[in-house]
Chains A and B, each alone.
Chain A
Amino acid sequence: MNTQSAKSVALPVATCLAGLACWSLVCSLHFFSTSSLPSPVDVASGFNEEVRSGRLVADVAASLYRVGIGVVLGTLAAVPFGLWLGYYQWPRAALMPAVNFFRSLSPLAWIPFAILWFGIGDAPVIFLILMPAFFTLTLATAAAVANTPEVYFRVATDYDINRMALLRKVTFPAALPQIITALRLTAGIAWMVVVAAEMVSGKDGLGFAVWDARNGQRADLLVCNMIVIGIIGVMLDRLLQCLTTLRSVRWGYER
């Protein structure tokens, strides 16, 4: 094993094992009751129970589905809107303060309206994810376009790139590295929001599972779900990070 892989694999694994050991040690000293701090063994058996019942998989699928739909819809709406805002000064001046306002508003503040308008189930949760996704991505895209060096548009004019081709060949690719960064940020926000949203307006999903475990006083399941939420959050970011390896966007990260 070379030094690099030792650093990137062995060290995190060692840290993880050390953490588990500490956790087990604290539990074995019985400072806390098992209902307030379950041991790793309790959590593992809880995990086993959740997997066998099929509930964990169903919850993960439900949460990922909502985040997926929310982020995809948000992206589809925000990127064209952001490109437009970034390119034209007047709409930008008129609408950016409002975009900034809504982006700064915690998505959780929308929970009462989400339930009022959409009831319980997928719709309110997707709405709660859509809000931060749309405004975060709009702002990032518009800023990326507005900060695109003037010379690229000059070159496009010099070489007779027409209006439609301009969007495809210049405006969008120039903003893409920053859009990808914003997408990673957005997915992170969405993954946090989904847990909170499902707690109050879900009937399944990881957030609901956390709340359900709390109501059933199943601390083992609570920790189990927390671990799953954390791991999936990291995996989502890793997945989106793959986008940054596209050859045509590397310039945005290597310069």
Chain B
Amino acid sequence: MSDKVLCLQNVCHSFEGIEVLQDISIEVDRGEFVVIVGPSGCGKTTLLNLISGFHKPASGSMVRLGQTRMVYQSDGLLPWMTVSENIEMGFPSVGTRVSRARQLSKLLALVCLESFANHYPHQISPGMRQRVELARALAGEASVLLLDEPFSSLDYQTRLLMRGELVSLLAGRATTVVLVTHDIEEAAQLADRIIVLSGRPARKTFELHLDAARPREPTDQIVVAAMRRLLDHLGLLNADLIKRSERDKDAWAAVSV
């Protein structure tokens, strides 16, 4: 139990009589990358809000070890602060000015935004803004990172690049990640484990473990196999394709239900 960072048991939640989450139980290991997939409006964000402690579950229990940091879909940066000032918000209030400056330049280098340190969010591209958000979230060495569709407002190419950047940002950190998305390709590229939620009220309908190193390309066998499994589960795959996918035995083996 000691390496469980998050433990939700039979969590239910509703807003003004509308049931949003129904009997959700999820355990997350330290350092695990969990992606929660579900249709828009199913309650994914509510689930993250419960995990972050912003909402209290109506019933069930939620135990969380360590601090969480949330990365929002878009516009989570404070527009009146520069890139540097936004990232500095993430630093814990302890620490000297020198050590903060050193940390800041390290983070700016990590997200390749050294020359944009004094720019304001509206002066940089949406992809850069999400990078700043990630840097800010990583600044405080939070143990659990919650990502709420962090790349959904970006174009496809930028989204692909950002997935790669997220992987390299997390490399060498013991950060636990819970990412919600409706993009199953994103899920297959990033996750150690994918949890599929139904439409509202959200229930857990499927769970998929992916045992492969990151970074993964969208065309990697394991990614394709995982996507097929998910599409199959969601009833979005036609029968011929299922037969074909069954031939890719090796890839199927690495993707376990």
User: Footprint of B on A, CB under 8 Å?
Assistant: 149, 151-152, 154-155, 157-161, 169-170, 173-174, 176, 247-252, 254-255
Known contacts A149-B75, A250-B120; A158 and B80 CB within 8 A of each other: no
Chain B's closest residue to A172 (CB) is B80
Q: Which residues of A contact B89 (CB under 8 A)?
A: 155, 159, 161
B75–A251 CB distance below 8 A: no
A247–B70 CB distance below 8 A: no
A255–B80 CB distance below 8 A: no
Chain A's closest residue to B52 (CB) is A158
Known contacts A158-B69, A158-B70; A250 and B122 CB within 8 A of each other: yes
Most buried by B among A151, A157, A249: A151
Q: Which residues of A contact B69 (CB under 8 A)?
A: 158
A-B pairs, 10 with minimum CB distance: A251-B79, A173-B80, A159-B89, A251-B122, A248-B80, A255-B122, A254-B122, A158-B70, A155-B76, A151-B76
Q: Which one of A149, A160, A174, A254 contacts B80 once the chains associate, using CB atoms below 8 Å?
A: A174
Most buried by B among A159, A161, A249: A159
Q: Which residues of B contact A173 (CB under 8 A)?
A: 78, 80-81
Instruction: Give the size category of B's interface with A.
Output: 20 to 34
Chain B's closest residue to A246 (CB) is B80
Q: Which one of A170, A247, A249, A252 contacts B78 once the chains associate, using CB atoms below 8 Å?
A: A170
Chain B's closest residue to A152 (CB) is B78
Give complex CA distance A174, B77 in Å: 12
Q: Which residues of A contact B31 (CB under 8 A)?
A: none
Give complex CA distance A252, B120 in Å: 11
Chain A's closest residue to B119 (CB) is A247
Chain B's closest residue to A149 (CB) is B75
A-B contact pairs, 11 of them (CB 8 A): A151-B75, A154-B54, A155-B72, A155-B89, A161-B89, A173-B78, A173-B80, A176-B80, A247-B120, A248-B80, A251-B121
Chain B 229-248 against A: per-residue CB contact (8 Å), 1 yes, 0 no?
00000000000000000000
User: Distance (Å) between the CB of A167 and the closest chain B CB?
Assistant: 13
Known contacts A158-B52, A159-B90, A255-B122; A249 and B72 CB within 8 A of each other: no
Give complex CA distance A157, B81 in Å: 16
Give complex CA distance A174, B120 in Å: 14
